[in-house]
Chains A and B, each alone.
Chain A
């Protein structure tokens, strides 16, 4: 018998809000977190804008000790620690370095690459023949599992503590992996989420691939245009999202606040076949991932009130909407509402799936649909599948029951998760 899994804690560090209240307010009001970055221009990037969460030194000290901050230069780990600790506290737990080891709780916190700026420092020192000067701080900040290791120690968790990595699908995949672990009875609680560094050294490769927009350096807030006819590439972002998943039994026993239920999900790969490549999705696999998630959740496509798409603001958006429409067998006015958080925060890479899932759950819990901004000129091919009214341009207040969230990543990999409003 599978255990039911609910969400009892949320944390977020996004370009337009670095805690749940400010993030919620920003997405309700369509506030963009995209800004111009002088350093990118000086480095001759084509795309000189991006979404970077602003964290003050005071805020850092609320989460990390002065010792942890010595030689600290990993923005992803910082964002992940803030989001993870916030989510854990939000779920009603305390952070105590002397707490008893908790074998029933674990962590799956993903990332694409860790501590890129720290790694750059280390490489310079090694090349200067000063390897000894790396000290003790280089490894833990640059190992991929750095974020789960930092959180694991601060929270004292004794179940599985690991880091997953699946490009832009990472955050969504972490949720599904945590769900599987709880539903199969292997853990009572899993802190799941993902984080990503920001800045020149992470974004440079994308700039070189010419997948970032270079047309909006003087209008950053208008730059990220998912589903728009004038979308011209994505805007890079950074941050972290975190969720505490918990068995329904455990949540009820603790009388915890339940934000939503995770009904189920699916992950798969298009194998870079049938039109799928390292960077483009195989539509057959995308549609199969969506239908499997729906099947595993025991719902009907018509039950879905809102889709929080992957929708990056590239030429692939129309294909994504078409895939949703075909997978759900819903067209035109029958299609659910659909929006893209990337319109406000850009593409937060490995952190995208978790930040966007936090947005999905906040909408479910509070009963609203955030506006998908910069889409006043919907791409005509999208209108072949759905009617324009399904893309909200202003916030809609609406009781929601089921939200579908999907992420699609480089390597032709897919993840789709179904969240439902929790009712007693």
Chain B
């Protein structure tokens, strides 16, 4: 799956949790979940559960800690899918 395809899927996943529409519309690989999209930090675990469901992968604790922005999320998902 290309990064572009993954980003489209990720956008769909994070949409219910975001609180900054503008940052969401202009989402890039550099976008940070908490600082840019203003996702409540408690909801990050829910985003990760939704990612696990969508891609049928399991994200361990170490990977979870790094999944704070789109770039790291893409890298983690790609490595699990590989």
Cα–Cα, bound, A66→B43 (Å): 13
At the interface, yes or no: B24 with Cβ under 8 Å from chain A? no
> Is the pair A136, B43 in contact by a Cβ cutoff of 8 Å?
yes
> Is the pair A71, B46 in contact by a Cβ cutoff of 8 Å?
yes
At the interface, yes or no: A133 with Cβ under 8 Å from chain B? yes
At the interface, yes or no: B49 with Cβ under 8 Å from chain A? yes
Partner of B16, one of A66, A132, A133: A66
> Is the pair B17, A67 in contact by a Cβ cutoff of 8 Å?
yes
Q: Is the interface of B mostly helix, strand, loop or mixed?
A: helix
A residues 243-300 with Cβ under 8 Å of B? none
Q: Which residues of B contact A132 (CB under 8 A)?
A: 45, 49
Cα–Cα, bound, A66→B18 (Å): 12
Cα–Cα, bound, A71→B43 (Å): 12
> Is the pair A136, B16 in contact by a Cβ cutoff of 8 Å?
no
At the interface, yes or no: B42 with Cβ under 8 Å from chain A? yes
For chain B, which range describes its interface: under 10, 10 to 19, 20 to 34, or 35 or more residues? under 10
Number of CB contacts from chain A to chain B under 8 A: 18
Cα–Cα, bound, A201→B53 (Å): 29
Q: Which residues of A contact B46 (CB under 8 A)?
A: 70-71, 135-137
> Is the pair A70, B16 in contact by a Cβ cutoff of 8 Å?
yes
> Is the pair B49, A67 in contact by a Cβ cutoff of 8 Å?
no
Digit string of B23-59 for contact with A (CB within 8 Å is 1, else 0)? 0000000000000000000110110010000000000
| Cβ-closest chain B residue relative to A136 | B42
A residues 122-157 with Cβ under 8 Å of B? 132-133, 135-137
Q: Which residues of A contact B16 (CB under 8 A)?
A: 66-67, 70
Would you list 18 pairs from A and B whose C-beta atoms are within 8 A, ordered by A residue?
Answer: A66-B16, A67-B16, A67-B17, A67-B43, A70-B16, A70-B46, A71-B46, A132-B45, A132-B49, A133-B49, A135-B45, A135-B46, A135-B49, A136-B42, A136-B43, A136-B45, A136-B46, A137-B46
- Beyond the given A67-B17, A136-B42, A137-B46, could you list 15 further A-B residue pairs with CB under 8 A, ordered by the A residue number? A66-B16, A67-B16, A67-B43, A70-B16, A70-B46, A71-B46, A132-B45, A132-B49, A133-B49, A135-B45, A135-B46, A135-B49, A136-B43, A136-B45, A136-B46
A residues whose Cβ falls under 8 Å from a Cβ of B: 66-67, 70-71, 132-133, 135-137
Which 5 A-B pairs give the minimum distances between C-beta atoms?
A136-B42, A135-B46, A136-B45, A135-B49, A136-B46
